[in-house]
Structure 1
Amino acid sequence: MNTRSVFPAAATARISIEAGVTLGWEKYVGSKGKAIGIDRFGASAPAGRIYKEFGITAESIVAAAKSL
């Protein structure tokens, strides 16, 4: 599939949300977008705590969207 058909060039305010590494998402969010995820190894805790520590929360996602 052509990514331009889903993500037109004019749509630059893009956010990816991944409960893992963000590697590869830059292709979709572009240079002006934001990739939210966990880009380090070794964190261990209940999911809610990990998500809060790494900014994978509704509040963080809204803040990222507003900053774009």
Structure 2
Amino acid sequence: MTPPPERKQVLLRLDPAVYEALARWASDELRSANAQIEFLLRRALSDAGRLPSTARPIPKRGRPPATRREEQQE
């Protein structure tokens, strides 16, 4: 089984006021600024009909769900 391709890293220069507004918005939605940027870009691409069908979903963050064995031990 081959490992998934690495996520692409890009340098992004933003006006400080735009970044602060973005960071506040991300915080309100419990996302990092980076995750918020990706979310917004994907939504814009989808709305424009330009999101590639090969784009993988955004990786889930946080604690993984408990397995049955872990649930029984609690």
Scaled by the length of structure 1, the TM-score of the pair is 0.22
Structure showing greater Rg: 2
Larger RCO, structures 1/2 (Cα 8 Å, 6+ apart): 1
Decide which structure has greater helix share. 2
Decide which structure has greater strand share. 1
